[in-house]
Amino acid sequence: MPNRIWGYATRLSHRLLGSLILPFVLLAPGAMAVLLTVAPLARAQPPRTTVAYQPMSSHGLSAGEPFEAWIVFDRSLNPVVAGYALPAGATFRFVFPPAFTPQPNVGPEAVLLYGWPQRAAPIPFTVGLDPADPRTIMLQLAAPFPSDPPQRPGLKAVHLRMGPRNPSQAGEYPIIMQVSEAGPLSGNTQVIAHITSTPVPIIAAYNQLHEGQNEDWQELRPGSLAPLPLDLLVTVPGEPRASITLQMTPSSELVILSDGKRIGTITTRGVPLTLTPVPLGPGFARLGIVRIQAAAGGVPGQAVVEAQLVGGPPYTLHLAVVQS
């Protein structure tokens, strides 16, 4: 079917990755740089996980700030690929080490994700602190979480926010994810959170303007436009009111400008694509939102759009150019 969103928009080869993520530090195309290495504990059977920057926050993995990040499971974020199906009552406990400062009077929050920004899974759950350990966040499903790709591919990530405060020193810190009441997925996994000394600039897909549809992976015919525009949200620490704009270079690279100063780039690779900035107006520019229209050339195949701010992780979007 021409001009359709790939599997309702697919994402991450980026763990966007295929089946199981190996225990190495990985870059998740479509979801920001992965900030965790994985070391499953002996006899553990739960999903292996990584921690990635939350797409709308540059502070969540910064020293001294409240923890906020995506806990990403080892399934491709491409919505054609099935995520995890879980029964009602499945429980996750995220146990932070003593270096994290508990916030006993602050309730943690969470969002269950299919794998792309601004698209929460409508599955009821409860989340809160463990009464016996304020450094532990508990999340329990109140209903089954089915897997029905591509529109509802199953659980692929959990967005945690308002967790304990990150350590005051940058470094690598182990977090234990304990899964119970989840059948064969029950068990423990250890991940290493990489805490930075300062916040980092972030750029990521912003699906809010097209009702949460996934722009990260799309399918289009040769010579046609992508079904969805590529909307990107730029978050620059310390510059909340900067005006973000795009500028085309002679080499067809897009430069990201903050009040006229170069802060990043948007490039392509793979089969030919043409990227055209689409003005959204000064209000959106002040919010850090920019829009690009992608058009395919005449050659079928895979194309990648990569956006990155100076000092921040890359964000990757995939477009498949197909004949029919």
242-294 residue pLDDT tens:
799 999 998 878 999 999 999 999 999 999 999 999 999 889 999 999 999 99
For residues 108-117, average pLDDT:
93
Q: Residue length, the chain?
A: 324
pLDDT at 73: 94
Indicate whether 9 pLDDT > 70: no
Q: Are 199 and 60 in contact (CB under 8 A)?
A: no
Q: State in words which class domain 36-195 has.
A: mainly beta
Bridge partners for 129 per DSSP: 137
Residue 17 — pLDDT band, cuts 50, 70, 90?
A: very low
Q: Are 137 and 129 in contact (CB under 8 A)?
A: yes
Q: Where are the domains of the chain?
A: 36-195, 202-321
pLDDT at 18: 35
Indicate the SS3 state at residue 207: helix
Distance CA(190)–CA(36), nearest Å, equals 10
Joined together, the tokens standing for residue 302 give: 């895979």
Distance CA(163)–CA(128), nearest Å, equals 10
Q: Are 246 and 290 in contact (CB under 8 A)?
A: yes
pLDDT at 179: 96
The side-by-side arrangement of strands in the sheet containing 157-161 is 49-53, 69-73, 157-161, 109-113
| Least confident stretch, 19-23, 155-159, 263-267, 293-297 | 19-23
| Nearby residues of 22 by Cβ (< 8 Å), 6 or more positions away | none
Residue 206 — pLDDT band, cuts 50, 70, 90?
A: very high
| Nearby residues of 6 by Cβ (< 8 Å), 6 or more positions away | 78, 79, 80, 150, 217, 218, 219, 318, 320
The letter for the amino acid at 62 is S
Indicate whether 60 pLDDT > 70: yes
Bridge partners for 161 per DSSP: 109
- The 10s digit of each residue's pLDDT in 133-150 is 999 999 999 999 999 998
Indicate whether 241 pLDDT > 60: yes
- The 10s digit of each residue's pLDDT in 65-75 is 999 999 999 99
For residue 238, the surrounding DSSP H or E stretch is none
Residue 162 — pLDDT band, cuts 50, 70, 90?
A: very high
For residues 306-319, average pLDDT:
95
Indicate whether 21 pLDDT > 60: no
The letter for the amino acid at 70 is W
pLDDT at 109: 97
Structure-token match 């879980």, residue found: 86
Distance CA(66)–CA(54), nearest Å, equals 12
pLDDT at 294: 97
For residues 225-246, average pLDDT:
90
H runs (alpha helix) in the chain = 282-287
Indicate whether 19 pLDDT > 60: no
What's the topology of domain 202-321?
Answer: Immunoglobulin-like (2.60.40)
pTM tops 0.85: no
| Nearby residues of 151 by Cβ (< 8 Å), 6 or more positions away | 8, 79
| Nearby residues of 62 by Cβ (< 8 Å), 6 or more positions away | 166, 195, 196, 197, 198, 199, 200
Q: Are 156 and 72 in contact (CB under 8 A)?
A: yes
Q: Are 307 and 314 in contact (CB under 8 A)?
A: yes
Whether cis (ω within 30° of 0) applies to the bond prior to 97 is: no
How many Cα atoms sit within 13 Å of 247 on the Cβ side?
14
Residue 210 — pLDDT band, cuts 50, 70, 90?
A: confident
For residue 256, the surrounding DSSP H or E stretch is strand 254-258
CATH topology identical between 36-195 and 202-321: yes
For residues 111-124, average pLDDT:
92
Q: What's the chain's average pLDDT?
A: 86
